[in-house]
Structure 1
Amino acid sequence: MEKKWFTISVYSENNVGLLNRISGIFLKRHINIESLNVSKSEIEGVSKFTVVVFTTEDWTRKIVMQIEKQIEVIKAFYHTDEETIYQESALFKIGSHLLFDERQIQNIIKDSHAQIVTVSREFFVLAKTGKREEIEEMYRLLKPYGIMQFVRSGRITVTKAEMKISSLLAAMEK
């Protein structure tokens, strides 16, 4: 089977230790978590874990079934990149002298649609939101000039198709 990118969405109660148990499911199968984000969901009192993996659909399906066995998990889904709309965010800290001394830096900022978040005498911070490839390209372009610090968020995503989680929860409450 062909490996590709999958986004796993896990809706759960917000309980201590659940993240550890979920990550253990990936560890047992030697599957690396490429990105992880946990946040409030559209449903009051329900958290959403967004996990990105590069593996086969068969392994992804098995992982989702294992995740759903956790008592706090309400429902888990998986989707391909084509089925979702997703973004990541990154911050780049760069020496301030480059902003004025290197014309190419200004072109990189403009061409990548990045934003300058703050400027001080010693450094400036750029924010870039986009797909992983766009952030990696900006990193590649800025690296020769010297990046003082770099951080990237986990993927945030919504599905193109309707998620049945709200109707599922409504049915459970009856």
Structure 2
Amino acid sequence: MSEKNTYTVSIYTENNVGLLNRISAIFQRRHINVESVNVSKSEIKSVSRFTLLVKVTEEQIKKIIGQIEKQVEVIKAYYHLDENTIYQESCLFKLSSDLLIGNDEIQRIINSSKSRVININKDFFVLEKSGHKEEIEELYHTLDKHGIMQFVRSGRIAITKDEMPVSKMLKELKN
């Protein structure tokens, strides 16, 4: 059996209703868990980019990409190993403002984790952290001992180290 790897999947699409459901159904039919999803506009005007994180074999990812590219709205889909991408996740922590008063440990945690306070009021403060999943998990476990009021983490966002020729491909299609 082939080895499972973590792949970042980038899908360039037209922005149409229902596409996310159809893409997730491709993974669901194969009983593959999507670890994270991020959808945003891309570097190409009127083109959206889906970024998904999955752990599968290379054989599976090739079949999945083939199925994704059969969707009418999909312009192009790519897959990359971690070493071929530059990636980050972001998160927000909501914590009690009481922790900031006379608590040097919280200040030390904020400084050492390279996180930053983005909002503060009398009841709570919000801490923002960007980094790799492991860094965010480590900060979560550290802050959890102090009582996290709310927590949210984004899906992976990633840029490839190599060129993604989708812009060039689109220009050629228009000519």
Q: TM-score, normalised by structure 1?
A: 0.98
Separation in 2 of the partners of 1:141 and 1:92?
12
Which residue is equivalent to 1:102? 103
Separation in 2 of the partners of 1:55 and 1:142?
32
3-state SS of 1:27 partner: helix
Say whether residues 1:3 and 2:4 are aligned partners.
yes
Separation in 1 of the partners of 2:112 and 2:6?
27
Which residue is equivalent to 2:174? 173
Report the CA distance between 1:133 and its aligned residue: 0.8
Report the CA distance between 1:96 and its aligned residue: 0.8
Aligned alpha-carbon RMSD (Å)? 0.8
Give structure 2 stretches of 5+ with no counterpart.
none
Matched AA of 1:14: N
Q: TM-score, normalised by structure 2?
A: 0.97
Which residue is equivalent to 2:138? 137
Number of aligned residue pairs: 174
Report the CA distance between 1:53 and its aligned residue: 0.6
Report the CA distance between 1:102 and its aligned residue: 2.7
Which residue is equivalent to 2:72? 71
Q: Deviation string for 1:45-94 (max 9, x for gaps)?
A: 11000011112111111111100000110000000110000111100000
Matched AA of 1:47: S
Which residue is equivalent to 1:52? 53
| Percentage of pairs with the same residue | 58
Which residue is equivalent to 1:146? 147
* Structure 1 residue runs of 4 or more that deviate by more than 4 Å after TM superposition: none
